[in-house]
């Protein structure tokens, strides 16, 4: 097998180094694995041998390929044994001083044409390269855990990196069966930067007392199609990993409000309630299974009031059709009759503001989230305002649950759960494009492969409408007066003219 780099050094035989060594050997390179802890190398080698045997057992590799991989994986007992490498990838402890010192030693060992790469996830590639004699041959090569299964790698150019080095690393990634994406050297690169919206906005919703963790998880799974809710995800990653990432990206962007972390995770981390691995996070775990209280059943309503829908409701005709299908008695007058349940469907505005602006009786006003069309969701979400009467809330809940679709009832907030979280994700992604950190296409690839979102953030914005997303953000900025909802100019320009977010300016 011909590869871009025939001999590849991997430094650090932990979880990441082992994975990188595996795919490099499978691609056909000779791999020299080095670690300051000799037992770590032996352990990694034994685990990789066992892994290849397992793959052969499953018929995914033949015995010849297994033998070849095993012979290509070689332990290096000193840094000097990496002298003949064409590429060296570092995956050691995440400390700038340790990485810098390693690379300056390595520069003395390897030949001039050897490419040097770091798997850092949070340090600046430029900072690691500073002080090297040949910073132009140095780049970031950021893999995800577990490396063989997470098929994306960020190729990061430092300030002085030669573009040909990035091109070579990208080509080699393809030879290893991975998809490379090109990123500028900025905090969090693409994936860890784009991932800031999901958890932080969900935490913000909880901190405002709008609803609880489990309800937010249900809404984002059922309405927006995420595989895991943000709190399930944080429990899986564990807060001792994810909270420091939130803090680091916020600080590295000089307190940019979009990335502001939450006191909720700071507290939970301090209390050791970090997630599934300790048996308790946002959920309690018994034998590895989250204990989730069942949802309250839809209320029984003896007499259903007539329903009047605001003329300014989002997706008004779809909402009318839905109510008709559910057998509602729909009022069509200019204003609601004195007994009518009044439904509003704002984008970004809270229910209270809508009731006041449209001169509706707040006691009978309930909001429904119509950002996403009803047919595309598995859940409906309604919101009360502080004056909403219980009978009106229950009537809305019972009516919207008539066909068996679950309904979540939340308190008033600018934007419902899905609007807030989706708009924040799209806005952060737009700002990544604005900063030219990567191309829109690479952003989509990185997020779908690296974060497992149902759609790339820009495709998500396109699906629910760039204009709608922009409207959610503008109105939330009005409700909260918080710069975190300020739309990125990139989104603003495209949203204003209703353009696809995948469109690139020439």
Note whether 244 binds ligand NAI by CB under 6 A.
no
Q: Output the CA–CA distances (angstroms, integers) from residue 495 to 241, 453, 471, in the order listed.
A: 35, 22, 9
Note whether 36 binds ligand NAI by CB under 6 A.
yes
Minimum CB distance to ligand NAI, residue 438 (Å): 17
Note whether 12 binds ligand NAI by CB under 6 A.
yes
Note whether 139 binds ligand NAI by CB under 6 A.
no
One of 47, 62, 94, 325 touching ligand NAI (CB under 6 A): 94
Is 439 part of the annotated catalytic residue set? no
- Distance between CA atoms of 376 and 426, rounded to whole angstroms? 19
Q: What DSSP character marks residue 296?
A: P
For residue 43, give the nearest of 68, 75, 67, 70 by alpha carbon: 75
Note whether 321 binds ligand NAI by CB under 6 A.
no
Minimum CB distance to ligand NAI, residue 90 (Å): 8
Decide whether 42 or 398 has the Cβ nearer to ligand NAI.
42
Is 121 part of the annotated catalytic residue set? yes
For residue 69, give the nearest of 46, 55, 42, 49 by alpha carbon: 49
The CB-nearest residue to ligand NAI is 14
Minimum CB distance to ligand NAI, residue 453 (Å): 18
Decide whether 11 or 116 has the Cβ nearer to ligand NAI.
11
One of 4, 7, 26, 119 touching ligand NAI (CB under 6 A): 119
- Distance between CA atoms of 281 and 2, rounded to whole angstroms? 47
Minimum CB distance to ligand NAI, residue 16 (Å): 3
In the stretch 14-33, what mask flags binding to ligand NAI with x, by CB under 6 A?
xxxx----------------
**Among the residue ranges 9-17, 181-189, 261-269, 327-335, the one whose residues contact ligand NAI (CB under 6 A):** 9-17
Q: Give 69-109 as a 3 state SS string.
A: HHHHEEECCCHHHHCCCCEEEECCCCCHHHHHHHHHHHHHH
Q: Rg of the Cα trace of the chain?
A: 26
**Among the residue ranges 48-56, 137-145, 306-314, 399-407, the one whose residues contact ligand NAI (CB under 6 A):** 137-145
Note whether 450 binds ligand NAI by CB under 6 A.
no
Active site residue: 29, 119, 121, 408, which one? 121
- Which residues make Cβ contacts (< 8 Å) with residue 355, sequence separation at least 6? 342, 344, 361, 362, 365, 385, 387
Which stretch of DSSP H or E encloses residue 330? strand 330-331
Under a CB-based contact definition with an 8 Å cutoff, are residues 200 and 250 in contact? no
**Among the residue ranges 8-16, 179-187, 296-304, 405-413, the one whose residues contact ligand NAI (CB under 6 A):** 8-16
Residue 171 β-bridge partners: none
C-beta neighbour count of 419 within 10 angstroms: 31
Under a CB-based contact definition with an 8 Å cutoff, are residues 195 and 233 in contact? no
Decide whether 90 or 412 has the Cβ nearer to ligand NAI.
90
Q: Which residues between 399 and 428 bind ligand NAI (CB under 6 A)?
A: none
Which 3 state secondary structure label does DSSP give 262?
coil
In the stretch 37-66, what mask flags binding to ligand NAI with x, by CB under 6 A?
x--x--------------------------
Minimum CB distance to ligand NAI, residue 156 (Å): 12
**Among the residue ranges 89-97, 204-212, 323-331, 454-462, the one whose residues contact ligand NAI (CB under 6 A):** 89-97
For residue 73, give the nearest of 36, 96, 46 by alpha carbon: 46
Minimum CB distance to ligand NAI, residue 192 (Å): 9
Q: What is the dihedral sign for C-alpha 230, 233, 235, 238?
A: negative
Active site residue: 154, 232, 331, 444, which one? 154
Residue 138 β-bridge partners: 116
Please count the residues of this chain forming the interface with ligand NAI, following the rule CB under 6 A: 23
C-beta neighbour count of 30 within 10 angstroms: 19
- Distance between CA atoms of 216 and 27, rounded to whole angstroms? 42
Minimum CB distance to ligand NAI, residue 429 (Å): 21
- Distance between CA atoms of 128 and 94, rounded to whole angstroms? 11
Is 154 part of the annotated catalytic residue set? yes
Minimum CB distance to ligand NAI, residue 450 (Å): 10
Is 145 part of the annotated catalytic residue set? no
- Distance between CA atoms of 504 and 506, rounded to whole angstroms? 6
Residues known to be catalytic:
121, 142, 154, 192
Footprint on this chain of ligand NAI (rule: CB under 6 A): 11-17, 35-37, 40, 91-94, 98, 102, 119-121, 143-145
């Amino acid at each position: 097998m011909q590869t871009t780099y025939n001999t590849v050094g991997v430094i650090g035989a932990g979880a990441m180094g082992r994975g990188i060594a595996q795919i490099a050997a499978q691609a056909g390179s000779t791999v020299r694995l080095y670690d300051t802890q000799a037992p770590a190398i032996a352990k990694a080698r034994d685990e990789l041998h066992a892994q290849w045997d397992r793959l052969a057992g499953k018929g995914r590799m033949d015995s010849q390929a297994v033998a070849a991989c095993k012979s290509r994986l070689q332990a290096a007992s000193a840094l000097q044994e990496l002298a003949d490498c064409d590429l060296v990838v570092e995956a050691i402890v995440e400390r700038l001083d340790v990485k810098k010192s390693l690379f300056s030693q390595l520069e003395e060992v390897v030949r001039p044409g050897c490419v040097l790469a770091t798997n850092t996830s949070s340090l600046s590639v430029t900072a690691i390269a500073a002080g090297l004699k040949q910073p132009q041959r140095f780049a970031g090569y950021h893999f995800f855990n577990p490396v063989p299964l997470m098929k994306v790698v960020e190729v990061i150019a430092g300030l002085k990196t030669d573009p040909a080095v990035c091109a070579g690393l990208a080509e080699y990634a393809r030879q290893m069966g991975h998809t490379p994406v090109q990123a500028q050297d900025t905090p969090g690169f693409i994936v860890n930067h784009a991932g800031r919206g999901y958890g932080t906005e969900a935490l913000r919703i909880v901190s405002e007392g709008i609803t609880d963790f489990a309800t937010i998880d249900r809404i984002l799974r059922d309405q927006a199609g995420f595989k895991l809710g943000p709190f399930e995800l944080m429990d899986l990653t564990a807060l001792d990993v994810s909270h420091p990432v939130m803090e680091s990206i916020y600080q590295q962007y000089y307190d940019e409000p979009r990335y502001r972390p939450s006191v909720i995770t700071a507290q939970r981390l301090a209390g050791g309630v970090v997630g599934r691995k300790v048996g308790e996070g946002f959920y309690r775990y018994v034998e590895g299974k989250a204990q989730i209280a069942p949802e309250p059943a839809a209320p029984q309503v003896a007499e259903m009031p007539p329903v009047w829908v605001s003329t300014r409701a989002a997706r008004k005709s779809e909402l009318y059709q839905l109510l008709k299908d559910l057998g509602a008695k729909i009022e069509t007058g200019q204003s609601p009759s004195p007994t009518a349940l009044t439904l509003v469907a704002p984008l970004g505005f809270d229910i209270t503001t809508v009731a006041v602006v449209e001169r509706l009786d707040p006691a009978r006003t309930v909001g429904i989230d119509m950002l996403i069309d009803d047919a595309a969701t598995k859940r409906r979400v309604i919101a009360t305002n502080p004056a909403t009467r219980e009978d009106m809330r229950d009537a809305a809940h019972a009516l919207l649950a008539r066909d068996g679709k679950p309904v979540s009832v939340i308190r008033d907030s600018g934007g419902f759960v899905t609007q807030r979280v989706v708009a924040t994700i799209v806005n952060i992604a737009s700002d990544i494009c604005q900063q030219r950190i990567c191309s829109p296409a690479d952003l989509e690839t990185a997020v779908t492969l690296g974060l497992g979102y149902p759609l790339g953030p820009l495709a998500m914005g396109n699906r629910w409408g760039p204009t709608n997303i922009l409207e959610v953000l503008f109105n939330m900025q009005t409700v909260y007066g918080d710069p975190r909802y300020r739309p990125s100019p990139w989104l603003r320009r495209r949203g204003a003219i209703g353009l696809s977010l995948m469109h690139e300016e020439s």
